[in-house]
Amino acid sequence: MSIFKPMISSVMFKVSSHILTLLLVVVAPICNAQSNAGSETLIDTFDFVPRTHVFFSDDFSQYPTGRLPAERYIVKCECPDGSILVKKSEHYSWLYCYTHCAPYSIKPILNNTDLIRDSFTIELDYAFASATLAPDKSWHFVYFHLLNPTDTSLAYITVNKDGECSFGHTCPGREKYNREPTVISSHIAKFDGRGWHHLAISYQTGNVSIFIDKHRLVAYSGCSIFPSEFRIGGRDAFKIRNLKMATGPLERPFSDIITQDKLVTHAINFEVNKAAIALSGKRYLKELANFLSEHTDIKLEISGHTDNDGTPENNLKLSQARANAVKKHLTLLGIDESRLTTKGYGESRPLKPNSSPEGKQENRRVEFRKIRMP
């Protein structure tokens, strides 16, 4: 039984019993007429690399508990008992969405819609929220749309707590069609639907890769799509945090260490208020370790930097712990610890003002500075 209809070129596999539908509704003035011949593959690997220029970021910590600000989001909720609210705990903030009748939608306001037309990455953490389901589960879904209102392209991924996931797409000028998905065994990707998961989407001119936690679940090519909006919506209760959208080149400028004596990266992410390195950061460090293995004369100072959330004292400790964690991981990858020193600077060296979520995102970073030999 398919999860979401109509379904286009679908792949289904076991994941983790509310439905989370990640719809990239991508609307384009041009779409490859031969996209029916496009390829899609289920790959149990993680090779996500975020892009360098973050143009929208939100961890929801800067808002008071309650509604989203109108200058950042356009929110629609027609259900009288529905809720789209910012909530907080001691350690982090999140967006909570719930409705039991009419669907809701949330659209981040982008200053420049051209930034998501060709190449971009999207990352976020999500979790299903506790809620009572109606007997018809098909009414309970959450989606993420990328769209251009002038057309009707569609690409989407759906995930539910029953352990099912599917991906599909359609292009302008081509009829939608239904097809039963192929079921892949559960060892490919098995999630506990009760916890938080990390979603990452990479798009580059017709090539879409979708990752959940440590698995690349979808790699699809064959359709040129040019979105201009990003929307979140659905009927299911869910939580979201750490939303980040980026464009620009991929984060792999290791040569900066040689040419500029310093490398600044936002590709090494950590758990909120912790020094635990996220999976995408570990992959980045593996590639950095390969680079350092080829350039054995390079010694580095690893420095950690934070935004101004929390106290300066705690941020200093956190930045030092994160720098130490990066050093430890590089040594586990074979880099001699004598080549690495660490320093935590906390919030003392911001790259941008901490007055916006994007500024704070820019300030949360790791830097590698080449130590010149005497």
pLDDT digits (tens, 9 = 90+) for 64-104: 998 888 889 998 887 777 788 999 988 889 999 887 777 78
6 and 35 Cβ atoms separated by less than 8 Å: no
* pLDDT for position 186: 32
Shortest CA distance to 125 belongs to which of 91, 153, 148, 149?
Answer: 91
What is the spatial order of strands in the sheet that 104-108 belongs to? Answer: 73-77, 104-108, 229-234, 142-147
The domains found in the chain, sorted by start residue, are 11-249 (2.60.120.560), 256-371 (3.30.1330.60)
- For 322-334, the pLDDT digits (tens) are 999 999 999 999 9
Q: Which amino acid is at 30?
A: I
Q: Is the dihedral of CA 65, 70, 73, 76 positive or negative?
A: positive
What residues contact residue 229 under an 8 Å CB cut-off, 6+ apart?
107, 110, 113, 145, 146, 147, 148, 149
- For 17-59, the pLDDT digits (tens) are 444 444 444 333 333 323 333 444 444 467 788 888 889 999 9
Beta-bridged to residue 142, according to DSSP, are 234
- For 175-202, the pLDDT digits (tens) are 443 333 333 333 334 455 567 888 888 8
* pLDDT for position 203: 86
- Is pLDDT above 60 for 168? yes
224 and 234 Cβ atoms separated by less than 8 Å: no
* pLDDT for position 275: 94
- Is pLDDT above 90 for 119? no
pLDDT-derived band of residue 171, with 50, 70 and 90 as boundaries? low
Q: What is the DSSP letter of 235?
A: S
For the stretch 236-260, what's the b/e string if a residue is b when 16 or more beta carbons lie within 10 angstroms of its beta carbon?
bbbbbbbbbbbbeeebeebeebeee
Site of tokens 């350690």: 91
Q: Which helix (H) or strand (E) holds 17?
A: none
pLDDT-derived band of residue 205, with 50, 70 and 90 as boundaries? confident
- Rounded CA-CA distance 51/46 in Å is 16
What residues contact residue 108 under an 8 Å CB cut-off, 6+ apart?
56, 58, 72, 73, 230, 243, 245
- Is pLDDT above 80 for 317? yes
Among 118-132, 151-165, 314-328, top mean pLDDT goes to: 314-328
Q: What is the DSSP letter of 280?
A: H
Shortest CA distance to 85 belongs to which of 111, 106, 56?
Answer: 106
On the CB side of 351, how many CA atoms lie within 13 Å of its CA? 16
* pLDDT for position 166: 67
